[in-house]
Structure 1
Amino acid sequence: MLEVTGIEKRYRGRTILKNVSFRANPGECIGIVGGNGCGKTTLLSILAGIRKPDRGSIRIDGQEALGRHRLLEEKIAYVPQENPLIPELTAFDNYRLWFRGKRREMERDLECGVGRVLGVDRFLKTQAGRLSGGEKKRLSIAAALSGRADILILDEPGAALDLEAKEQILTYIRSYVKAGGTVLLTSHEMGEIGACTTLYVLKDGVLVPTEAGLSARELIQRF
Structure 2
Amino acid sequence: MLSIQSISKSYKKQQVLQNVSFDAAPGECIGLLGPNGCGKSTLLHILSGTDTPDSGTILFDGKNLLKNPSLQSTKIGYVAQNNPLFPDMTAMDHLKLWYSATEYSIEDDLKDGFLSILKIEPFLHKKAKALSGGMQKRLSIACALASRPTLLLLDEPDAALDLVCKEDIREYIRLYCAQGNTVLLATHEEADFDLCSKLILLKDGHARTLAADTPVKEIIEYLS
TM-score over 0.5 (shorter chain): yes
1:141 paired to 2:130: no
Residues 33-182 of structure 1: matches in 2 within 5 Å?
33-99=33-99, 101=101, 105-182=105-182
CA contact (8 A) 2:199 2:211 kept: no
SS class of match (1:210): strand
Normalising by structure 1, we get a TM-score of 0.94
In the aligned structure 2, how far is the partner of 1:129 from the partner of 1:103? Answer: 28
Structure-2 change in CA distance of 1:102 and 1:185 (3 Å): closer
Structure 2's unaligned 5+ residue stretches are none
> How far does residue 32 in structure 1 lie from its aligned partner after superposition?
0.9
Larger mean Cα displacement after TM superposition, 92-101 or 68-77: 92-101
In the aligned structure 2, how far is the partner of 1:63 from the partner of 1:80? Answer: 25
In the aligned structure 2, how far is the partner of 1:69 from the partner of 1:106? Answer: 25
1:193 paired to 2:177: no
CA contact (8 A) 2:193 2:212 kept: no
Structure-2 change in CA distance of 1:55 and 1:135 (3 Å): same
Instruction: State the Cα deviation string for residues 121-168 of structure 1 (Å, max 9, x = none).
Output: 121011111111111111111110111111111000110111111011
SS class of match (1:73): helix
In the aligned structure 2, how far is the partner of 1:72 from the partner of 1:4? Answer: 14
Normalising by structure 2, we get a TM-score of 0.93
Paired letter, 1:19: N
CA contact (8 A) 2:198 2:211 kept: no
In the aligned structure 1, how far is the partner of 2:164 from the partner of 2:220? Answer: 21
Kindly tell me the number of residue pairs found equivalent between the two proteins: 223
Instruction: State the Cα deviation string for residues 77-103 of structure 1 (Å, max 9, x = none).
Output: 110101111111111112212335458
SS class of match (2:89): coil
> How far does residue 194 in structure 1 lie from its aligned partner after superposition?
2.1
CA contact (8 A) 1:188 1:220 kept: no
CA contact (8 A) 2:28 2:196 kept: yes
Q: In percent, how many aligned pairs have the same letter?
A: 47
CA contact (8 A) 1:100 1:146 kept: no
CA contact (8 A) 2:194 2:212 kept: no
Runs of 4 or more above 3 Å deviation: 100-104, 216-223
